Structure 1
Amino acid sequence: MPFACNQDLRIHYIVEGKGPPLVLQHGFSWSADAWRICGYTDALRDR
């Protein structure tokens, strides 16, 4: 799993598709998988 480090925090990220970056921030009780489950990553991957 790729991580970016900022001070004492490790931030996990996932790269999908190509092009300019788009950051999807999940809510408090969700995880990054929620964007896949709801179909957002598939819909945005080629854009």
Structure 2
Amino acid sequence: MFEKVEVPVLGVVENMSIHICSKCGFEESIFGNGGGESLSKRIMLIF
């Protein structure tokens, strides 16, 4: 979308990528992991 209107992308925010169990502290990836890094590489941003 930003490329279409020629707006430069300054950064990528990866939010809500894990859930931490309040009882045991186990960290579970809800939507997988590495999405922010993958997107940064694809649009040529420094990660």
Q: TM-score range by the shorter chain?
A: under 0.3
Compare CA radii of gyration and give the structure with the larger one. 2
Structure-1-length-normalised TM-score: 0.24
Please state which structure has a larger fraction of its residues in strand.
1
Structure-2-length-normalised TM-score: 0.24
